[in-house]
Amino acid sequence: MARPPVMPAEDKTRIVLSVLAGEITVAGVARRAKVSEQSVGTWKRQFLEAGRAGLAAGKSGPSTREQQLEAEVSDLTPGPG
């Protein structure tokens, strides 16, 4: 049996958020999206784990990229007088 086409992440996110909001059941959304309930459950678990990791890591300051951009701005900006 051939695998179904890959569903875009945006669609998976919309599906998971609908389930988490209680707008639709896992069974209902799986039927509507023509995927297995197991797939929806996996997406939900992945979504929650990724969110949990983000909260656990926290944000203590600017990201490395933000620091890099600030340094570039400082290098390009003329100093006082």
pLDDT tens column, 7-58: 999 999 999 999 999 999 999 999 999 999 999 999 999 999 998 887 877 7
Structure tokens at 38: 């197991």
**pTM for the whole structure:** 0.64
> Is residue 63 in some structural domain?
no
pLDDT at residue 81 greater than cutoff 60: no
> Is residue 64 in some structural domain?
no
53, burial (CB in 10 Å: exposed 0-12, middle 13-18, buried 19+): exposed
> Is residue 81 in some structural domain?
no
Q: Among residues 35, 55, 50, which one has the least CA distance to residue 15?
A: 35
> Is residue 76 in some structural domain?
no
Range of the domain at 40: 9-57
> Is residue 32 in some structural domain?
yes
Distance CA 19, CA 40 (A): 9
- Asked if 37 and 19 touch (Cβ cutoff 8 Å), the reply is no
> Is residue 30 in some structural domain?
yes
Q: Phi and psi (nearest 5°) for 22?
A: 80, 15
Domains: count for the chain:
1
> Is residue 67 in some structural domain?
no
